[in-house]
Structure 1
């Protein structure tokens, strides 16, 4: 069996990553969902409205552990391509954005988790929307984008910027860049 290619869709908040991820899933690709909203909602059941703002380190520890599990699980898939909505490097990017310290284990996790391709979704004001889990304004989203790009580059990745356009066009761009349009083939 061929090696599973781990492909990350990343970028600042509100850039269309999850919508494109749903399109790829609809087309039959194996996709791992973003998990930060789940962590946020779990914290709310404990009475913590914004865990990242209240305790960025605890929030980030939960995220990096979950994303590392996703990374490991992606490598066990029978599919040749697996798409992940964000990767472990996003955690460090957000910690830098928050100017928060993090343990050396975060950097070690980033060194160990190598993705085959990283697609970076740029800030796009026309589609940006805030909600209960996405509290950043567009200026903050733009700053986060820069931290994310820097984090992936710092760990040896070469992010490919996804052009703005329709969901179909963006998904097609990703698949074309990966080398084909059929699930399970590389």
Structure 2
């Protein structure tokens, strides 16, 4: 358990947590993204949070995967990987913020900002040069949040998922010097 403050902590996700992870993301991800998908995101949730994929993600060197706990409840997930550069462009000596999803009920409480400060500290402690992430082009609230924290747009590309509505397939790579 990693304590961020008295109310906020990170609990490492283990393979035996797969059912709990899937149920949490069924609620959190679907609330935010179900309108992006022809099947409300069921295919994507199964792709990302099935047992085999979780096993692969947990086995990767440099992968750090957590439940976000707030006031004793699991309210989301945080995953980051380092060193990691995107295949679309070179960002050397970098950390990827792979997943940050929080339950709608805790939005606006500063939790995401605290988590971003936490990963920045880790990146600095590891002497990494950049943190990068991918944000859906049509999720303006998320893009504004990252921009406020100093992340800059690098490039935009299109996701090829056929169940994703064509008009929301744009995804932006953003990075920040740490």
User: Which TM-score band applies after superposition, normalised by the shorter structure?
Assistant: 0.3 to 0.5
Q: Which has the higher contact order (CA 8 A, sep 6+)?
A: 1
Higher strand content, 1 or 2: 2
* TM-score normalized with structure 1 length: 0.32
